[in-house]
Structure 1
Amino acid sequence: MTTIHRTPRFLRPGCPPISFHSRHRAGPRGSCQQYATATAPTVPHLTVRDVIDSHQRHHVRDVHTQLQTQGILKITLNFCDKESQYLEKLIKGLGSNHGHGPPITHSASRGWYWDVRPSKNTLLPMSTQARSETMREFPWHTDCSYEHNPPEYFALQVLQPDRCGGGTLSVLKIDHLTRYLSRAAKAALFEPEFRITIPPEFVKEPNKLHILGSILSTDEDHSTLMRFREDIVTPVSTRAASALEELKDALKHLEASSQAVLHLGPSVLPENSIILLNNRRWLHARNNVKDPARHLRRVRWSAVPFSNSISSGMIAGSEGK
């Protein structure tokens, strides 16, 4: 039997609630963008007693409902599951009972799961290491933004939290972010005028090194969706460049001044916990990892077209290196 409840607002570990004042910046044509105090979203929370719950239809339905309505869910496992059997069976149940697509492979050489931890092979050049294999911070992004069909969902299972105060996962709802963009910026972000480079460690076809597409899209419910990772996005028009700068500016201000950003540190996501996210409705980021033994396991699933993306860039492998 599973129980579901709402967790309180999550702040940085050790930080008391803060009263934020509204902040403003000049927008296009003298307009004023306001970064006001926002009501922090809450994170639904399920507690699972046994791996067999992953076979229970009511439990799978609860997970699906929360992902559909909130786009985020925390699960606490009251048992040890180093092999991630619960997560594997849950995703299969979401597929057979609720139409979720299957897990996707991470690269040509890896399968469903990706172990998110600092690489022990320090001799590897940085260009061949995934960002998740380093201890560096990872700014705001969505997973697989370089894919025509990015996954709709991903999950992170905590096998070993950062015991030194680093590696905090932060999340921001995209609907909240887009409120602070001008109409012109949003219109430009919906256009397929952004070159998105595929990181070398995720190249699956040697002659396919980038795609051309939009940053924003919508689904059948007219919700705003996003794919974004700043370090691999290049605007290919003047209006796209202006819109991208406005987006980055909004992110910077919201991160500094808004309660809309949730910080999910080890006290919130301890060992045996799982966080599931809608990858198109939430951005996520990570600060510097301080514990080299930090270990999370990631799985992504339900890859569907990002509707505004268009043809991929086909360039010679030597040109992309």
Structure 2
Amino acid sequence: MYRHFRTVATIGSRAARYSTQPIRDTRVSNLVPQFEVTKLENASDPAHLRVVHETLQAKGLVQLALRFDNDESTYLERLISNLSKIHGHGLPITHSAERGWFWDVRPAPSSFQSHGHQARSETMSKFDWHTDCSYEEFPPRYFALQVIQPDRCGGGTLSVLNVDQLLGLLSPFARKWLSSKEFKITVPPEFVKDAGKQHIPANLVAIKPNGECGSQLRFRDDITMPLTPNASKALNEFKRILYGEEAKQSTLHLKAESLPRGSIILMDNRRWLHSRNEVKDPNRHLRRVRWDARPFESCSA
């Protein structure tokens, strides 16, 4: 892999400094802005908060590099709390009736975090393309993953795919029917919050008019059922494109060397799909938080 030197913004308590480090390949560097975080207090620094907020708004992806140990995720908790106070982000959602803001993404062969059910994130198996919480009526706009322990055996690669690029490949027919509320999404048992709500009716796509950027997607194939023939046909077209060659060429793969220990990746959950290949290191450990839950709007194609 080609590695190069790039300028990385370092957000301090008073002003931004810069350091040059050999970190990532050219494609990752161009698509995923990265900022160094030198101390815990940066989570309360207005300049730091503004940079994170504005970059998330513009790009939908931000990588932060912690230069101090913080396995308790105190920095991330304070960052999101202050993004809420200063920039109007909604606070984190709970993962289930039994879990709070944070969820440990790591292999768990027998001890599960919620309802006695094993979540996909608690396995070592491949987790195909999805957006988080597609089964929520108000899915979170953002999520973050903090790397506590990367996969040291070559697995667990995080892959991301831009929604605008993907939806641009769809036919008008598919965009129309994916934007209709003709799908049923089942709530996975480990994430049930209300025993009386096992599924929701939903549209999968909310498209900005006139080709504007910022269209939204909610998707997880194994829990999504089309309710009409047209919805089924549109979903099949979407999946053909999602797993086709053009989408593969647009996919960005963030391997362990791109996300070492202390990395935090923040992502717009509606503007980027993500997936994970097979985990090979049983000690791989990420910590996840999701926040800013808002209605998933229905837009005309």
State the match for 2:288 in structure 1: 298
Q: Are the counterparts in 2 of residues 3 and 47 from structure 1 also a CA contact under 8 Å?
A: no
2:62 maps to: 73
Return the letter of the residue paired with 2:288. R
Secondary structure at 1:103 match in 2: coil
Alpha-carbon distance in 2 for matches of 1:219, 1:110: 34
Unaligned runs of 5+ in 1: 11-39, 310-321
Q: Is the contact between residue 164 and residue 213 of structure 2 (CA under 8 Å) also seen in structure 1? A: no
Distance 1:192 1:218, change over 3 A: same
Q: Identical aligned pairs, as a percentage? A: 51
C-alpha distance in 2 between matches for 1:123 and 1:72: 29
Q: 2:243: which partner in 1?
A: 252
Structure 2 portions without partners, runs of 5+ = 1-11
Q: Give the 3-state SS of the residue equivalent to 2:68 in structure 1.
A: coil
Q: Are positions 1:195 and 2:195 aligned together?
A: no
1:122 & 1:66 partners in 2: Cα distance?
A: 37
Structure 1 match to 2:175: 186
Distance in 2, matches of 1:271 and 1:233, equals: 34
Q: 2:198 is matched with which residue: 183, 187, 209? A: 209
User: How far apart in 2 are the matches of 1:70 and 1:129?
Assistant: 33
Change (3 A) 1:157 1:209: same
Match of 1:48 in 2: 37
CA distance in 2, matches of 1:269, 1:81: 15
Kindly tell me: are residues 128 and 86 of structure 1, through their superposed partners in 2, closer, same or farther at Cα, counting changes over 3 Å? same
User: Match of 1:58, as an amino acid?
Assistant: A
Amino acid at match of 1:302: D
**Is the Cα–Cα contact under 8 Å of residues 127 and 200 in structure 1 kept in the other structure?**
no
**1:228 counterpart residue number:** 219
The structural deviation recorded for 1:178 is 0.6
Name the TM-score, length of structure 1 as normaliser. Answer: 0.82
CA shift for structure 1 position 292: 0.5
Q: Helix, strand or coil for the counterpart of 1:9?
A: helix
Q: Kindly tell me: are residues 3 and 278 of structure 1, through their superposed partners in 2, closer, same or farther at Cα, counting changes over 3 Å?
A: farther
Give the equivalent residue in structure 2 for 1:27.
none
Aligned pairs (5 A) from 1:1-321:
1=12, 2=16, 8-10=26-28, 42-121=31-110, 128-218=117-207, 223-254=214-245, 257-258=248-249, 260-308=250-298
Asked whether the equivalents of residues 3 and 46 of structure 1 are also in contact (C-alpha less than 8 Å), the reply is: no
The 2-side partners of 1:53 and 1:191 are apart by 43
Separation of aligned partners in 2, 1:256 and 1:90 = 33
Deviations 1:77-97 (A, max 9, x none): 000001001101100110011
Measured after TM superposition, the shift of residue 121 of structure 1 is 1.2
Report how far residue 214 of structure 1 moved. 0.3
> Does the CA-based 8 Å contact 2:112-2:122 persist in structure 1?
no
